[in-house]
A and B are shown apart, each in its own frame.
Chain A
């Protein structure tokens, strides 16, 4: 711990899978396209219930990320917060555009995410590490490490 001088932020969110399933059924591609990236959609394939569970977990991750970004007024585009799944199964956050700018401005040097879904609910936890100096770090690609996902939204076990 001696080398660690940053501050931590934690965000969490819980989303009923049925709510996402209803939005998909009601609004279809308009809903999916306004909220999720192509990569996220590609990771959520299968039966409608499996797709909804995967999307719900990703929405929870986006909202949990917003909680650690602490936007004032303007909220970043949902698609500027992307949950990327490594082929090995673990997930990481990739921020672009306004979300990436907010992270830079607040000195967030690293983010970790864990997503899960079970019994009709999807959840995510995001942990952010903030530089003690704040807002002045080299993180040009804005990729951040991931955590566990005990869901099976894409047929493969995600970790």
Chain B
């Protein structure tokens, strides 16, 4: 799941740094992701994982790191297969 999240962030988050330089806990907003870019990230995640983020999850903290996004997706689609 993290690999797919990283690919989406690399395409849509418009970060001024390479995703490979950020660990899973790195703050994406601190790294340069704008609010507008986070909307594109959200829509790309919905496309990729065939889910829709409910209003209650539309908060900055949901998209602030790879780990946070992974946790949100896991809650929506279930735990990844072993």
Chain A interface residues (CB < 8 Å from chain B)? 13, 15, 19-20, 22-23, 26-27, 30-31, 34-35, 59, 63, 66, 73-75, 77-78
Contacts and interface: CB of A to CB of B under 8 A. Distances in A.
Contacts of A26: 40, 43
B58 interface: yes
Contacts of A20: 36
B72 interface: no
Interface string B9-51: 0000010000000000000000000111101100110100000
B35 A63 contact: yes
Contacts of B46: 30
B61 A35 contact: no
**B contact patch SS:** helix
Given A31-B40, A63-B36, 11 more contacts: A19-B36, A19-B37, A19-B40, A23-B43, A27-B43, A34-B39, A63-B35, A75-B59, A77-B55, A77-B58, A78-B39
A77 B53 CA distance: 12
A27 B40 contact: yes
B40 A73 contact: no
17 contacts: A13-B35, A15-B34, A19-B14, A20-B36, A23-B36, A23-B40, A23-B43, A27-B40, A27-B44, A30-B43, A30-B46, A31-B40, A34-B39, A34-B43, A35-B39, A63-B35, A77-B55
A77 B7 CA distance: 26
A23 B58 contact: no
A84 to B, nearest CB: 21
Contacts of A19: 14, 36-37, 40
